[in-house]
Structure 1
Amino acid sequence: MLTTMKVCLYCQNKNNEDLKQCERCGMELPIKQPQSKKAKLTFFTKAFWLIVIFCIIMVIYLPR
């Protein structure tokens, strides 16, 4: 049986998903976990290249 864990945003302790407060520090656990660093990096990379391509097209397209 695979159980998912919620990570406390304050102390980074891993808790069972059914808990509402952290076992270690007692802080309220988030309802939705924040995005992982990999997801943020992937989004940033795609946005960066989209902007680069747009700038290159505008340099070629716009009159001088």
Structure 2
Amino acid sequence: MEQRFQIGSGLHYLLLFSTGLTIFFLLYIQFCLKIIKLYFLNIKKKLNIRFDKNLNHENIRFLICEIL
């Protein structure tokens, strides 16, 4: 029996798959970053903390405990 392989067909599918996977992960990372940003803005509003002025050790510790 003779087996014939099409040259480049597997490489073509691998390239398409990796390109699609890369685009998916880039969009997914942007989506996750937006959710994290909204979560931090919600904490900021809820606790009424100004990150630029009132950032001392107690506030940092409280924020870390709130996030975890």
TM-score range with shorter-chain normalisation? 0.3 to 0.5
Higher strand share: 1
**Larger Rg belongs to:** 2
Q: What TM-score does the superposition give when structure 1 sets the normalisation length? A: 0.45
Higher helix share: 2
TM-score (norm 2): 0.42
